[in-house]
A = this chain, B = another copy of it.
Amino acid sequence: MTGDSQLDWWQRPDLFYQNKKLIFAGHNVNKLAYQFGTPSFVYSSARIEANLKRIRQALDDAGLAGRSSIFYAMKANRFAPLLRFLKQTGGCGIDACSPNEVKHAVSCGFQPSEISFTATSLSKNDFAMLDRYHGLFMDCDTLHAIRSWGELNPGSEIGIRINPAAGIGRACNDRLQYAGCTTTKFGIYREQFEQALELAAEFDLTVSKIHFHTGCGYLTPELDQLDHVISEGMKFVADAPDVKRVNIGGGLGVPHLPEDQALDLAQWSAVLNRHFGKRDLHIEVEPGDYIVKDAGLLLLAKTYVETKRDTLFVGVDAGFNIAPEPAYYGLPFQPVTLFLDDSPLRPTHVVGNINEALDVWYENAPLPDLDQHDYLALINAGAYSSSMASNHCMRGEFSEFLLP
Binding site for B on A (CB under 8 A): 75, 78, 97-98, 100-101, 104, 118-126, 142-145, 163, 166, 171, 175-178, 180, 182-186, 188-189, 191-192, 213, 301, 303-306, 308-311, 313, 315-317, 319, 321, 324, 328, 349, 351-360, 387-395, 397
Contacts and interface: CB of A to CB of B under 8 A. Distances in A.
A121 B317 contact: yes
Contacts of A213: 355
A315 B189 contact: no
B357 A310 contact: no
6 contacts: A98-B394, A100-B397, A120-B351, A120-B359, A144-B303, A188-B308
A71 to B, nearest CB: 13
A295 B124 CA distance: 29
Given A121-B351, A123-B317, A315-B120, A393 B97 contact: yes
Given A123-B317, A388-B321, A185 B360 contact: yes
* Residue of A120, A166, A178 most packed against chain B (CB within 10 A): A120
A304 B122 CA distance: 8
B306 A144 contact: yes
A249 to B, nearest CB: 10
A357 B180 contact: yes
A97 to B, nearest CB: 5
A189 to B, nearest CB: 5
A-B interface, 9 closest residue pairs, ranked by CB to CB distance from nearest = A121-B315, A100-B394, A144-B304, A121-B353, A390-B390, A183-B311, A185-B351, A183-B309, A123-B317
A191 B307 CA distance: 11
A196 to B, nearest CB: 11
A357 B186 contact: yes
Contacts of A393: 75, 97-98, 101
Contacts of A120: 315, 351, 353-355, 359
B308 A395 contact: no
A113 to B, nearest CB: 20
B183 A100 contact: no
A157 to B, nearest CB: 22
A98 B357 contact: no
A143 B308 CA distance: 10
A75 B355 contact: yes
Contacts of A391: 387, 389
A352 B122 CA distance: 9
Contacts of A304: 121, 142, 144-145
B97 A355 contact: yes
A143 B303 CA distance: 12
* Residue of A188, A388, A393 most packed against chain B (CB within 10 A): A393
A390 B390 CA distance: 5
Contacts of A356: 176
B309 A357 contact: no
Contact of A358 (B125, B175, B317, B397): B175
Nearest to A307: B192
Contacts of A305: 144
A352 B78 contact: no
Nearest to A302: B123
Contacts of A142: 304, 306, 315
A306 B324 CA distance: 31
